[in-house]
């Protein structure tokens, strides 16, 4: 039996509204909102509870969230040819240190 398509896990909606969204940082909430917005733009019809979660996510995101801008950027990342120059990507310092450690171990 195929699993029914959902925007959010029904058992988690109450938790998201009561405490879950407030416990997330802004980046986590924005990622959740981007995923929800993408599914909605693809034609998904949300339940009333799912609409409530999306409305709360939008409210928490405030003025700093631009769904169309984020979706344009995601589309550009997904459709960029594999041979594109990725030298413009700047990794966080901790990730650079981790990569250096891994590369150092490979040389030994």
Model-level pTM?
0.60
Q: What is the CA radius of gyration of the chain?
A: 19
- The confidence score (pLDDT) of residue 1 equals 45
The predicted-structure confidence for 6-31, as pLDDT tens digits, reads as follows 888 888 999 999 999 989 888 888 88
Confidence class for position 47, pLDDT limits 50, 70, 90 = very high
Is 40 in contact with 15 (CB distance < 8 Å)? Answer: no
The full set of domain ranges for the chain reads 1-81
Torsion of CA 47, 42, 33, 10, to 10 degrees: 30
Give the C-alpha distances (Å, rounded to integers) separating 85 from 32, 72, 80, 107. Answer: 29, 19, 10, 26
């Amino acid at each position: 039996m195929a699993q029914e398509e959902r925007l959010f896990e029904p058992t988690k909606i109450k938790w998201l509204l009561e405490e879950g969204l407030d416990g997330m940082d802004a980046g986590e909430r924005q990622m959740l909102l981007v995923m929800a917005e993408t599914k909605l733009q693809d034609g998904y019809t949300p339940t009333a509870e799912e609409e409530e979660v999306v409305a709360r996510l939008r409210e928490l995101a405030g003025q700093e969230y631009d769904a169309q801008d984020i979706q344009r950027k995601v589309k550009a990342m997904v459709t960029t040819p594999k041979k594109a120059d990725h030298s413009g990507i700047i990794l966080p310092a901790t990730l650079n240190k981790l990569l250096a450690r891994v590369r150092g171990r490979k040389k030994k």
